[in-house]
A and B are shown apart, each in its own frame.
Chain A
Amino acid sequence: MEDVPSPAEIDFHATFAAGQSELCDVLEQIDAATQKHSYPADVAYALKLSVEELAMNTIHYGCHKQKQDCKITVTLSRNETHALLRVEDNGQAFDPLETSEGEHEPGTIGGHGIFLVRQMMDSLEYLNQDQHNIVIARKQLPDASG
């Protein structure tokens, strides 16, 4: 059935304390995972950048009042058509897609993070479930486009 997506294969999954150095370790691990699973270079780049921007948003906004207990979980998976990125945290409710960052003014500093993610990924959605913030980003894989 064409409208039923194929099950996703999980290529990377990690939970880490919401800190910058912890995030940087995870970014290196994502490099290794996308290389191991032969993601196209531009898709791997977009995914890594999305993890950096979404997690930095969480560190600076969603978790800034409760740094000690705040955890971020990153899951990277793939089905036949798309790479799927899920970034989840237990910080205060915060929808990064509703910030003014989506309306970045080119050539100015600040507000690039989510703007870059929006431009590099094909879709983004935010959910708040069980007091967790969840952002799901999708990027079409080149073989699926044609």
Chain B
Amino acid sequence: MNIIDEPHGEITVVSLNGSMDPDQALNFKERLQTLLADRPPKIVLDCSDLRYTGSAGLREFFFASKAAEQAGGKLVLCSLSADVQKTFEIAGFANPENIFTSREKALAAF
């Protein structure tokens, strides 16, 4: 999985490309830790090209979101594929305040 981050003013957009398997979930966790060190972290995870996540990936999404919140910031997701969206919904993580259908809508949430 490729993880590419780019700044949009105070917000960092992180594009995820590939499959979030358990090994990639660990990579994602390490990468996010740097971004979460910003005070307050403002992060959009663009999932347009995220083809898959299992529970290991879901766990890291959840912890990253909580960590951003606890640091007084925010982490939101956008552009989930139907299968990834369904996985979030089944797990009970598909909170409309944190998941948006487009990058533009996600950026507008800050």
Residues of A within 8 A of B (CB): 20-21, 23-24, 27-28, 31, 41-42, 45, 48-49, 52-53, 56, 104-110, 112-113, 115-116, 119-120
Contact = CB atoms under 8 A, between A and B. Distances in A.
Interface of B: 19, 21-24, 52, 54-56, 58-59, 62-63, 82-83, 87, 90-93, 95
A115 B54 CA distance: 11
A107 B97 CA distance: 13
Contacts of A23: 21-22
Contacts, number: 63
Mostly, the A contact residues are helix
25 contacts: A21-B23, A23-B21, A24-B21, A24-B24, A27-B21, A28-B19, A42-B83, A45-B52, A48-B52, A48-B54, A49-B87, A52-B54, A52-B56, A56-B54, A104-B91, A106-B91, A106-B92, A107-B92, A107-B95, A108-B92, A109-B62, A110-B59, A116-B87, A116-B91, A120-B90
Max count, chain B CB within 10 A of own CB: residue among A27, A56, A109, A116: A109
A115 B63 CA distance: 19
Contacts of B22: 20, 23-24, 52, 56
